[in-house]
Each structure stands twice: as C-alpha cells, then as structure tokens.
Chain A
C-alpha cells in the first residue's frame, strides 16, 4: 500500500479564481469545464529541490556592476512556514520587479519610463533552517497597464516559491502598506477574502530597517500544509 499524505485544499475565499473577469485577459484563458478532482499522488506530493550550487543566490538587487540602482533602497525580510506553522527550510524563492520608475527590464515593457543601467530586477534567495529569508532591493515603482482606463498596478514584487511538493507551488506578489492603488487593482482584488488579500501586503518594520541605509519591510509567506492523516483512495 502506498499511503500518501496529500496537501490540504485551500480555505474557501483565500485563493483567487482563475475566472476573475475584472482582470480582462482571464476571460479567454480560464478553463470553462470544472477541474478534474483527483487525490494527490507522489507526482503532486513531491517536487523539485534546488541547490545553491546550481542556482546561486542573488540577494542584492540594488547593485549592478558595483553601482547603486536609482531609487529608495529597501530590505525585505520574512519567514516561510506551512499551514501548521512549521518553517519551510532551505527552499528557493525567486523574486522579480520593476525599477524605481516602474519599468521592467523586459522587451515587452514599453512604458515610457527610464530604464536604469544599474538595475536588472531579478533575485534569488534561499530560506535558512528556520524558514527566514532576506534580500535587498529598491522600492519598485507603480506602472500603467491597459486593463481598463487609467489602470495602474500598485507597487509590487513578484514571488515564486516551490516548497515540499508540486502541490505547494506558489506564485504571488508582495505589496506595500498604504498604497492607494491597491483599492483599484483587479489582480489584488481577485482574492475574495479581505484578510487573505491583506496578507499580501508587507508591513513596514523598524527592526528590519537599517540606520543610514535602507527601510525594512516584513513579508511572511505560508505554503499549504499536509492533511492530518494519510488519505485512502
């Protein structure tokens, strides 16, 4: 018998629907048929493990070629745990973001804002044995998108995490406290539950802030937990 501990289904309201029509391009892209319900197997309960030997950490996005990027330097620190509050140790986090002017170093980004020769916008960091991670960057700027008239994305940093299994894969975005654009953003508001939405907003943290150097923000991430007992067929 292969007894398998699957991962718990999402708490209702805590995850966005792929059918989120206020985000216009979802309309032709979300499946119309119900998803096939199939209990997790080893395919879903295991997942890739990344080694710093193959994927070297890049924990300071604020310096390129020894020169400082334009913008407000920030430190982002947080802890990755699972739904049972256990640390997710030695897991890889990938981050990417626009520069201080709200422009991505990406050929598809045609926003009329300057590129910064000393900012690329990609980072990679591993959690420590207790789930903590930290990197240095600059605060990304807001940028326009064509979803609706006068649409602007709030300041955000994109995150990619893997965790223990393919089922724990997480792609998300970190926002900044007090951003007036959050109220109008259909991507942020695709998350139905207000508390779940607000957990995507980092908080200013004076303990992470470094004197004469950078403001600190705290952003914790929770990955799915396992079911309490192995599920039968």
Chain B
C-alpha cells in the first residue's frame, strides 16, 4: 500500500498548458443540446479572481470520441469564465437514487492549495427537488450557490465565490 501524492497549487502560470479550445467540449463535433456555462469567480469581498482555471467534468452525456466530457477555461481580468458543452441528463446516484442533471467543477488557481470541488445544477429541473446532494442543504441561500440560472438562450450562469458571505458550497471529494 502506498499513500497518494500530495497536491501543490497549480500556480499563476498554468496557462502554459492552457488551450482555449478546451473551453468548448463540442469542438470535436458532438451533437445535442449545446449550452454555454458562464460565471464570475471571486474571492472574499467579491474581488474577482483572474487567471484561474475553471475545469468541468460530466458523466452525462457519456464521453465519446466526439465528446470529451471534460473542459477547462481561464478566468479573465474580471474573473469571468465561459464554457460550451452539452446539457447533461440525470445521473444515477447511490442505491436506487437518481441525481438531477449536474456538471462537476474544480476551481484551481494561485492561492488555491489543492482544488475546490463543486457542482453546477440547473434551475427549473424537476429532479432538483429530490437530488441527494441538494437535499443535504437546508439553507436556501447555500443551496442556491450550486444552481445555475438561465442567462439567455441556452446560456446558464453560475457565479462561484471561494470565501465569505456568498461562499459557494464546496464538496469534500
């Protein structure tokens, strides 16, 4: 038995491996309900976090030769990020449960030692009412930090705050 290697921050210079094309998960020709996920990343006090990495993974629709299921985007000077992907469907949960459609998100950047893991759900999805993870959040304000809101045609907005009053719910992964 061995022990997993320790995390170290991705730092400010991860752009050496950034490829802006990776922000579009449909670039290999995937077809389906194409959506744009936008948001603003902030730290305590609502200060934008530029130059950070917002990376996503979704197990639905299943990854294929034309759909990687994974993408990442830089945050610009105002902390804004933008990813294009396919709208996920319901995802099996543990036991006989079903999870509402969601996208897994890691926040990486300078000053973030490991990764901050969270999820984006979608406002108005009927399954949100019975989603096992959302059900753990009694406080509507806390719960709202995980729910992307419609922000135009096929566009969803989820702002993410690493610390403070509007702190996003981060998940122990």
Interface size class of A (residues with CB under 8 A): 35 or more
Task: Please list 10 pairs of residues, one from A and one from B, whose beta carbons are closer than 8 Å in the complex, sorted by A's number.
Answer: A27-B111, A28-B111, A31-B163, A36-B137, A48-B69, A81-B2, A104-B16, A187-B9, A196-B6, A222-B3
Q: Which residues of A contact B (CB under 8 A)?
A: 1-2, 4, 10-11, 14-18, 20, 23-33, 35-44, 46-51, 54, 81-85, 94-98, 104-106, 108-109, 120-122, 124, 158, 160, 166-167, 169-173, 187-188, 190-191, 196-197, 199-200, 221-225, 231-233
- Per the bound structure, the CA–CA distance linking A173 and B9 in Å amounts to 8
Say whether B172 contacts A29, CB under 8 Å. no
Grouping DSSP codes into helix (H, G, I), strand (E, B) and loop, the A interface class, with mixed when no group exceeds half, is loop
Say whether A108 contacts B4, CB under 8 Å. no
Known: A49-B63, A54-B68, A104-B16. Is A28-B43 also a contact (CB below 8 A)? yes
Query: Which single residue of chain A is at the shortest CB-CB distance from B172?
Result: A35
Instruction: List residues 87-102 of chain B with CB under 8 A from any CB of chain A.
Output: 91-97, 99, 102
Query: Which single residue of chain A is at the shortest CB-CB distance from B2?
Result: A222
Say whether A122 contacts B17, CB under 8 Å. yes
Say whether A41 contacts B14, CB under 8 Å. no
Q: Which residues of B contact A (CB under 8 A)?
A: 1-17, 28, 43-45, 47, 49, 51, 57-59, 63, 65, 68-70, 91-97, 99, 102, 104, 106, 108-117, 119, 132-133, 136-137, 162-164, 167-173
- CB of B106 to closest CB in A, whole Å: 7
Say whether B14 contacts A42, CB under 8 Å. no
- CB of A105 to closest CB in B, whole Å: 7
- Per the bound structure, the CA–CA distance linking A197 and B6 in Å amounts to 7
- Per the bound structure, the CA–CA distance linking A106 and B13 in Å amounts to 7
Say whether A35 contacts B104, CB under 8 Å. no
Say whether B12 contacts A196, CB under 8 Å. no
- CB of A48 to closest CB in B, whole Å: 3
- Per the bound structure, the CA–CA distance linking A104 and B151 in Å amounts to 37
- Per the bound structure, the CA–CA distance linking A164 and B45 in Å amounts to 37
Say whether A31 contacts B95, CB under 8 Å. no
Which of A17, A31, A85 gathers the greatest number of chain B CB atoms within 10 Å? A31
New A-B pairs, 7, CB < 8 Å, besides A29-B49, A30-B162, A43-B58: A1-B96, A16-B6, A28-B162, A29-B162, A43-B104, A54-B28, A84-B2
